[in-house]
Amino acid sequence: MAKAMIWEKMTVREIREALKSTQTVLIPIGVTEQHGYHLAVNTDMHNAWQIATRAAEETGCFVAPLLPYTFSGGELPGTINIDYHLVALLISDILRALAANGLRNLILVLGHGGSENARATREAAELFLRQHPAYADRKVALYNFCELSGLVAQGFAEGDFHAGNVETSLMLYWAPEDVRLNEIALDSPELVQMMREDPDKYQLIEYPLDHPGVVPRISQRPEIQVGVMGDPSRASAEFGARVCAEVVSGLVELIRAMQGAA
């Protein structure tokens, strides 16, 4: 039976010994951001950590310490945004440090599906590979369960985005104590419909001058007070278990493919 190698719980001797049996590490990347009134701001941390540790239990690989601070884009209370470029540099340096420890398969596990955060993470991986030719033999992958899950994709197609059925179901499955179903709230029907049609519509894009060279100012629409884009009222722990099984299976498949590649 495989056992997850939780980096932060291990000693020098234990890590040295474990490196003899695995050179694969999962790097869970969360974000601290609002998830409405019914979910805590650590929701995306849970997503990244739970997916990574469950996959590691099946494969025996390392799980690096969780990164809780990245870029959300939202501006409601509870959200802690870290500069997009700083996030990319930090993750790139985490990859370098893990590679220096002897890890050869490095997988970034995203718990947050925001487009800016995913872009920053991908740029981090590219920076690492480009700027550190000494580690050219390392393999790096980005596992974004929001993009690679059929069940999540189906939810997105139905307009179930941020803090909706999928995320609430996952939290009911692996952290029910952090879910407040009796406090579910939504913004106005008009705002909710707009965000379900396009999740990036939470942004207010303002041009101070009508000229193609002028850079817009992007902020969160001030009328948004809750920020839930999906329908959490449909959530269940049973559906969360199905999503969990699918996304963990996908990550296990990626791990084994990277370990089997020359």
- pLDDT per position as a tens digit, 33-63: 999 999 999 999 999 999 999 999 999 999 9
Count of Cβ atoms closer than 10 Å to residue 241 Cβ = 15
Distance CA 55, CA 244 (A): 10
Q: What pLDDT does residue 78 have?
A: 95
Write out the H or E segment, with its range, that includes residue 11.
Answer: none
For 5-260, CATH gives: 3.40.50.10310
Half-sphere exposure of 20 toward its Cβ, with a 13 Å CA cutoff? 4
Segment 216-236 mean pLDDT = 94
**Whether this model's pTM surpasses 0.85:** yes
Q: What pLDDT does residue 1 have?
A: 59
Residues 182 and 39: beta-carbon distance below 8 Å? no
* DSSP symbols for 81-96: ---HHHHHHHHHHHHH
Write out the H or E segment, with its range, that includes residue 210.
Answer: none
| Local confidence band at 119 (pLDDT 50, 70, 90 cut-offs) | confident
Alpha-carbon distance values, 178 to 2, 42, 133, 146 (Å): 29, 9, 43, 21
Domain-by-domain residue ranges, the chain?
Answer: 5-260
Q: What number of H helices and E strands is found in the chain?
A: 9, 7
Residue carrying structure tokens 């025996």 = 60
